[in-house]
Amino acid sequence: KQEVTQIPAALSVPEGENLVLNCSFTDSAIYNLQWFRQDPGKGLTSLLLIQSSQREQTSGRLNASLDKSSGRSTLYIAASQPGDSATYLCASARSNDYKLSFGAGTTVTVRA
Amino acid sequence: EAGVAQSPRYKIIEKRQSVAFWCNPISGHATLYWYQQILGQGPKLLIQFQNNGVVDDSQLPKDRFSAERLKGVDSTLKIQPAKLEDSAVYLCASSLGTGGGYTFGSGTRLTVV
């Protein structure tokens, strides 16, 4: 059974600081890994999808890396803004059945 | 491209009542998922459909939860009777096929009192 862990559970930074969010998973046989953003009371918005054959994906200020051998993914958010305040969840899809397993998320607060 | 539509957005019911949620996935997406997200936790898969058929419902509490997908498009999730511990956000997601990127709806926040 895939276990996905996100540390820390919460993070508070001043505006302009770079954010580093960590995700670890126990089963390295993954099909892909996806990072989502969730605003309070809202659904999930997909940020980045990394296929198992890829090492990283970038979109604007966001960069996500994937290291299957160590069971880790990291989401970097450059030059954080108050609008980046949200909960960020990572989820891995297993190779055998593509089921998504989610971490509990990291809640980010960017202080103006 | 229109997103995944869900309704209602919020629902408050008393325990032992019944409730139903509706989801309309992205057009052409064969795979549809229902997730339950309890406050402070990541979403947990309840049921996965591939077109009309159920692929996985191993985590669905079948004594009280039921789901169907009509003609491989819209889906409904029902809870009868509801318990206090069913209070959660119910998320619907769809993907083009298994293993593709997921698109989630805005969710339905259920409060059971």
Mean pLDDT of A61-71: 96
- Residue A30 CA to its chain's centroid (Å): 15
Q: Which residue of B has its CA nearest to A88?
A: B42
User: What is the rounded end-to-end Cα distance, in angstroms, of chain B?
Assistant: 37
Residues of chain A with pLDDT > 70: what percent? Answer: 100
DSSP states of B69-85: EGGGS-EEEEESS--GG
**Are A49 and B40 an interchain contact pair (Cβ–Cβ within 8 Å)?**
no
| pLDDT tens, position by position, B23-45 | 999 998 989 999 999 998 999 99
DSSP-derived letter for residue B60 is S
Decide if A110 contacts A15 (C-beta within 8 A).
yes
Model confidence at B52, in pLDDT bands (50, 70, 90)?
confident
| Binary contact (A46, B56; C-beta < 8 A) | no
User: In angstroms, rounded to a whole number, what is the distance separating the alpha carbons of residues A77 and A109?
Assistant: 13
In this predicted structure, which of A79-88, B19-28, B66-75, B91-100 has the lowest mean pLDDT?
A: B91-100
What CA–CA distance (Å, rounded) separates B38 from B17? 19
Locus of tokens 């789901």 = B67
pLDDT in tens, A6-34: 999 999 999 999 999 999 999 889 999 99
- Residue A6 CA to residue A35 CA, distance in Å, equals 11
A98 and chain B in contact, CB less than 8 A: yes
Determine the straight-line distance between the first and last CA of chain A, rounded to whole angstroms.
Answer: 41
CB A5 within 8 A of CB A103: yes
Contact status, residue B10 vs residue B113, Cβ threshold 8 Å: no
Mean pLDDT of chain B: 92
